[in-house]
Chain A
Amino acid sequence: MSSTVRAVPPSRAGSPPPPAPLHRRRTYRLGRWDLKYSPYLYVAPFFVLFGVFGLFPVLYTVYVSLFDYELLSGTREFVGLENYHLLMQDAQFWNAAYNTLGIFVLSTVPQLIVALMLANLLNRQMKARTLLRMGVVIPNITSVAAVGIIFALIFADRYGLINWLLGTVGFDPIAWRDNRFASWFAIAFMVDWRWTGYNALIYLGAMQAIPKDLYESASLDGASTWRQFWAITVPLIRPTILFTIIISTIGGFQIFTEPLMYGNGLVRGGVDHQFQTLAMYIYEKTFTGNSEYGYGSAMSWLLFMMIIIFALINFALVRRSVKGDKK
């Protein structure tokens, strides 16, 4: 295809030069500008919208975070970095950060590994392939609130499905909300249920771009399917793995609805804040009680920084470790 396109210009180059050199130069310049600048014009709508609805609020949040800003009483007093200073000593904030990180690790690691395995299985020749591939994203199209409600029932402390099953086989019921680790596990389970199929589909897309002859020659060399998976598939879809990890980091750090639903709609996150995440704590400070917008803004900004730092750390880690496999 590309060779035929390239074949056309020479015949045109042989035609006599146009009579008006000035005009020609102008169209030439226009054409060059077109090549050079129009891509920016095409992507501009996003960045303009982003600037108005995205960047401005972020910068305004920084501004608000420098004030003692309470909506209900109307206080608006410049306090400089005082909110950040208070934040550093706020045990509840760090507790929320710890919970968020714990839930993030507990959900993302198994989620991505299972998604990778699942994608590998779906990448084979089998019957009802399309149906199965579509099937794995079904959990993702359900409403997150509905998922939260259903799983809150499944993991209920007294009349929940899982504790009932445990009871029938003679185990003690698990205190799903009072025990920190149990609550993290239940929330991570909800996240995994919803996002594993989605990530699997992204991996599958990447896997299909890998040339089949690589596998063929590996098979000829006697490599097992397992070895092919680790030596060919994983290194070749590395950019995709990076992408999913960044996306999961962003999503994981902002987790809000699942733990909220799990805690009966209370932002407290368990009697002792066992599963209160950062987003929940920000909501608690910013929208309940005294509407402390300044403090909430400082927290939001810190969360934003944390997400970027963690995304970069993950980026570096994964980049290195997956590369290591290659050699």
Chain B
Amino acid sequence: MRRRLRIAAAAVLATGLALGSAGCSKKNDDEGSTGEGGQVKLVLQTFQNFGYDQAIKDFEAAHPNIKVEHQKMGELRDFQPKLVQWLAAGSGAGDVVGLEEGVLFGYVQNPDKFANLLDLGAGELKANFPEWKWNNALTPDGKKLIALGTDVGGLAMCYRKDLFQQAGLPTDRDEVSKRISTWQDYIALGKEFKASGKVKAAWLDSATSLMQPYVMQNSETFFFDKDNKFIGDTNPVIKQTWDMGLQMAKDGLTAKTQRWSADWDGAFKNSAFATLPCPSWMTEGVIAPKSGPANSGKWDIAKIPGGGGNWGGSYLAVPAQTKHPKEAYELAKYLTSKEGHLAAFKEAGAMPSDIAGLEDPAFKDKTSEYFSGAPTGKIFGESVKNMKPVFLGAKHQQVWETIFEPQMQAAERGRLSSDAAWKKAVDEAKKATS
């Protein structure tokens, strides 16, 4: 009897502890409620750093009947699953929510959970944005707009001036831009860099770094066609960058560090590579803190080989469950206006996506001290102007970050042959998207 009881106790204990970890989180407050004095309370949910502290103060000053509660929800990968749950449950989501470009497409396909901003009067804003930025948030039939654009990620090439000098390469940013005007030139200069034999550092951080800018420049689609069907295996541009990057690795031009890992951080601090394709949000937001103050003034920024391009960028949407769609739209409209964009740029370095913001001196004349005084506003602004839209697809982020990039890294480190890694990536992606 005692024995049976003990088994039962153990089973109950096991159940209890197993369940303990299956806990759930729930947002508490009564968002969207009308406070005293007829004041409307709006909840704004964003991830990472949208840089909206000042913009919200300005908005509240202009709209005394609205109070904004800004909930900063941490990383995108923490916020996104929660948002999906809140949208499905019909409560919990803020009145205005931030959506990243990569996840936006999934919502465009299932737009019922969001308010139609066109019904709220967003049509008048169309001319304020680059066409592609606007169209990305539009349903295929053009009848429903689910979000307004916040920032974009203009592209450039960040490089280490000091390492260039040691290797006897030009260091002036205009000169460098000229020397790397195409990707072939870029690779050739890398070989020159290595052949000098004077620098221990590699040319590029990782073979996978070329994928994003190269595909964005040379194709209208990435891993998915416009019907959201997986075409990663047949889109020739993807295999081209795959081979190009791995050939560079073979030639000893890459540092073979896995991006976003502790080793990558170490490589920045140890000056282990000389160049890195960088979207605007990466300059002050990633490179400067990772390289540390010791390397301040050693970095510089040149134009990206092959012209412009985009990498990243977000949107603001109004969930259909909000009780105050009008006020929520007002807030989203303000934050994506020129004033909102420039305030966010000042606070977090998020590059404006609206055309007026891109032309404003506050953005245009911006220079970066960390990057040897490079005119970041001018360089990134130009890279966005003649940009073509690229269709990403609902599962783009998943296919790139969790399937293609790791397999490419495996091939780069010699764990698998390039062909074997390619086959694995394609098989896995097909399975994940079927």
- In the complex the two chains form, is A158's CB within 8 Å of B19's CB? no
Inter-chain CA distance A290–B87, complex, in Å, is 14
| Chain B positions 100-133 with a Cβ under 8 Å from a chain A Cβ | 106-107, 109-110, 112
- In the complex the two chains form, is B407's CB within 8 Å of A71's CB? no
B74 to chain A: closest CB distance in Å? 12
Inter-chain CA distance A286–B415, complex, in Å, is 29
- In the complex the two chains form, is B401's CB within 8 Å of A266's CB? yes
Inter-chain CA distance A315–B3, complex, in Å, is 11
For A241, the chain B residues whose CB sits under 8 A away are none
For A300, the chain B residues whose CB sits under 8 A away are 22
Contact mask B63-103 → A, CB, 8 Å, 1/0?
Answer: 00000000000000100110011011000000000000000
Please choose the segment from A18-26, A191-199, A228-236, A306-314 that sits at the chain B interface, where 4 or more of its residues have CB less than 8 A away.
A306-314
| Chain A positions 142-184 with a Cβ under 8 Å from a chain B Cβ | 152-153, 156-160, 175, 177-178
For A61, the chain B residues whose CB sits under 8 A away are 22
Contact mask A259-291 → B, CB, 8 Å, 1/0?
Answer: 000001111101110000000000010011111
| A94 within 8 A of partner (CB) | no
Q: Which of B88, B257, B406 contacts A268 (CB under 8 A)? A: B406
| B28 within 8 A of partner (CB) | no
Chain B residue total in the interface (Cβ 8 A): 50
CB nearest to B88 among chain A residues: A71
For B10, the chain A residues whose CB sits under 8 A away are 246, 311-312, 315
| Chain B positions 193-234 with a Cβ under 8 Å from a chain A Cβ | none
Inter-chain CA distance A102–B46, complex, in Å, is 39
For B322, the chain A residues whose CB sits under 8 A away are none
| B17 within 8 A of partner (CB) | yes
| B293 within 8 A of partner (CB) | no
- In the complex the two chains form, is B110's CB within 8 Å of A246's CB? no
Q: A54-B19, A271-B409 are in contact. Are A156 and B263 (CB under 8 A)?
A: yes
Q: Which of B19, B260, B415 contacts A57 (CB under 8 A)? A: B19
A309 to chain B: closest CB distance in Å? 10
CB nearest to A179 among chain B residues: B415
Q: A159-B267, A178-B410 are in contact. Are A250 and B17 (CB under 8 A)?
A: yes
Contact mask A204-244 → B, CB, 8 Å, 1/0?
Answer: 00000000000000000000000000000000000000000
Q: Which of B14, B21, B262 contacts A246 (CB under 8 A)? A: B14
Q: A156-B266, A264-B260, A268-B402 are in contact. Are A288 and B16 (CB under 8 A)?
A: no
Inter-chain CA distance A139–B360, complex, in Å, is 54
- In the complex the two chains form, is A158's CB within 8 Å of B267's CB? yes
Q: Which one of A57, A153, A290, A312 has the greatest number of beta carbons of chain B within 10 Å? A: A290
Q: A178-B415, A266-B401, A287-B81 are in contact. Are A311 and B14 (CB under 8 A)?
A: yes
A146 to chain B: closest CB distance in Å? 14
- In the complex the two chains form, is B262's CB within 8 Å of A308's CB? no
Inter-chain CA distance A189–B177, complex, in Å, is 48
- In the complex the two chains form, is B413's CB within 8 Å of A175's CB? yes
- In the complex the two chains form, is A289's CB within 8 Å of B7's CB? no
Q: Which of B16, B395, B401 contacts A290 (CB under 8 A)? A: B395
Contact mask B283-302 → A, CB, 8 Å, 1/0?
Answer: 00000000000000000000
Inter-chain CA distance A55–B18, complex, in Å, is 11
Inter-chain CA distance A291–B82, complex, in Å, is 11
Chain B interface secondary structure, helix, strand, loop or mixed?
helix
CB nearest to B398 among chain A residues: A289
Inter-chain CA distance A159–B11, complex, in Å, is 45
- In the complex the two chains form, is A271's CB within 8 Å of B407's CB? yes
Q: Which one of B87, B270, B402 has the greatest number of beta carbons of chain A within 10 Å? A: B402
* A-B contacts, CB under 8 A, total: 120
Inter-chain CA distance A287–B84, complex, in Å, is 9
CB nearest to A264 among chain B residues: B261
- In the complex the two chains form, is A271's CB within 8 Å of B263's CB? no
A115 to chain B: closest CB distance in Å? 19
CB nearest to A149 among chain B residues: B262
For A54, the chain B residues whose CB sits under 8 A away are 15-16, 19-20
Q: Which one of B14, B112, B406 has the greatest number of beta carbons of chain A within 10 Å? A: B14
For A312, the chain B residues whose CB sits under 8 A away are 7, 10-11
| A74 within 8 A of partner (CB) | yes
| B13 within 8 A of partner (CB) | yes
| B314 within 8 A of partner (CB) | no
- In the complex the two chains form, is A72's CB within 8 Å of B110's CB? yes
CB nearest to B17 among chain A residues: A250
| B61 within 8 A of partner (CB) | no
Inter-chain CA distance A131–B407, complex, in Å, is 49
- In the complex the two chains form, is B15's CB within 8 Å of A159's CB? no
Q: A54-B16, A178-B413, A246-B10 are in contact. Are A291 and B84 (CB under 8 A)?
A: yes
For A264, the chain B residues whose CB sits under 8 A away are 258, 260-262
For B22, the chain A residues whose CB sits under 8 A away are 57-58, 61, 300
- In the complex the two chains form, is B106's CB within 8 Å of A72's CB? yes
- In the complex the two chains form, is A74's CB within 8 Å of B88's CB? yes
- In the complex the two chains form, is B266's CB within 8 Å of A158's CB? yes
| A125 within 8 A of partner (CB) | no
Inter-chain CA distance A264–B432, complex, in Å, is 22
| Chain B positions 380-434 with a Cβ under 8 Å from a chain A Cβ | 395, 398, 401-402, 406-407, 409-410, 413, 415-416, 424, 432
- In the complex the two chains form, is B401's CB within 8 Å of A152's CB? no
- In the complex the two chains form, is A288's CB within 8 Å of B410's CB? no
For B109, the chain A residues whose CB sits under 8 A away are 73
Inter-chain CA distance A311–B7, complex, in Å, is 10
| A304 within 8 A of partner (CB) | yes
Q: Which of A53, A177, A288 contacts B81 (CB under 8 A)? A: A288
| A254 within 8 A of partner (CB) | yes
Inter-chain CA distance A267–B228, complex, in Å, is 24
20 pairs across A/B with beta carbons < 8 Å?
A54-B19, A57-B19, A74-B112, A158-B257, A246-B13, A264-B261, A266-B401, A267-B402, A271-B407, A271-B415, A272-B415, A287-B81, A289-B432, A290-B395, A291-B84, A303-B18, A304-B15, A307-B18, A308-B11, A308-B14
Binding site for B on A (CB under 8 A): 50, 53-55, 57-58, 61, 71-74, 152-153, 156-160, 175, 177-178, 246-247, 249-251, 254, 264-268, 270-272, 284, 287-291, 300, 303-304, 307-308, 311-312, 315
Q: A54-B15, A152-B262, A291-B81 are in contact. List 5 more A-B contacts (CB 8 A).
A: A54-B20, A159-B270, A272-B415, A311-B14, A312-B7
Nearest 10 pairs of A and B residues by beta carbon: A159-B266, A287-B81, A271-B410, A271-B406, A54-B19, A264-B261, A71-B88, A156-B262, A158-B263, A289-B398
